[in-house]
Amino acid sequence: MKAGLILAFLAALVLPLTLPAAQGSPARVVIALKPDKDPELMAQERKSLSAYLSERLGKPVDVIIPLTSAVILEGLANGTVDLGYLSATDMVNARKIGAADLLLAGEINGKPSYPSYWVALKDKPYTKVEDLRGKPVAFASRTSTSGYVIPMWDLKQKGLVATANAEEFFGRNHVIYGTGYVSAIERVLSGEAEAAAVSYYVLDEDKHLTAEQRGRLKRIATQGPVPTHVIAVRASLSPADRASLKTALETLNAPENHALRDRLFTSKLISVDADTHLGGLRAALEFLSNAR
């Protein structure tokens, strides 16, 4: 489906629900989640979050799952989405266009950040990223924060590349872009790529790969920190509405709500300074946009 049709579909879906926002507090709240899990699982999580927040806010809450993060940004900009769960990269872009502000961020192991890994097969001789010069590799995607943006910034900081062209280091036709972490790892497992850039949890946690797959892999380099995902609030929402949404979401940190919170948002939700949280990432994104 073309981008224009997607945007039109989203507008048709949520605009009638949010028209009252122009006259004051919205009669309904629309929350958009990124489509990064099994569709059936996300459908159930959508219902659970809708019921949970509707009870605490005293108004209907619609949880939608657009096809791309670009659609979420468009919804935040035009007022058809009130809250969006975004990567830090998406948050930088949302602030740049004035569409949204950072409301809450994830906290992993006591920090609002996590590492990015280069991963290879265990029987390969690589022990550092420098060993990958001239080798075929896979990035998670062209937009992934931990699977592309931060690894490329790390190469720049190490003096291994001068431009945003990854082939400068890895070699011509040696760079593959996947459709997510697992797709990049699959290129390594099949032998098509010698290493893949992914988030730490793909290797360290038992969520995305089988035990047999993880057993064949090793970490050869770490880069970061990568700012955690965030909950963005549309810029046109009033301070009072922002405060009530923040309070409702923070109740997910109560022990009895951890299961729902972690299924939806991975980790504890905390307040952070937006400039501090996103500062290093902005430099990386500017490098990638200006050095092509």
128 vs 125: CA distance, rounded Å: 9
60 vs 72: CA distance, rounded Å: 19
At residue 15, the pLDDT reads 36
Q: Which two tokens stand for residue 97?
A: 């266009």
Range(s) of the chain covered by CATH 3.40.190.10: 3-109+228-275, 113-227
Bridge partners of 175, per DSSP, are: 137
Coil, helix or strand for 12? helix
Give me the count of residues in the chain: 292
At residue 208, the pLDDT reads 85
49 vs 249: CA distance, rounded Å: 10
Q: Which amino acid is at 149?
A: V
**pLDDT tens figures, 161-210:** 999 999 999 999 999 999 989 999 999 999 999 999 999 999 999 878 99
81 vs 90: CA distance, rounded Å: 15
At residue 288, the pLDDT reads 93
CATH number for 113-227: choose from 3.30.360.10, 3.40.50.720, 3.40.190.10, 3.40.30.110.
Answer: 3.40.190.10
pTM more than 0.85: no
State which residues of the chain have pLDDT below 70: 1-24, 35-41, 291-292
Task: Tell me which residue has tokens 């309070």.
Answer: 247
Q: Tell me which fold the domain 3-109+228-275 belongs to.
A: D-Maltodextrin-Binding Protein; domain 2 (3.40.190)
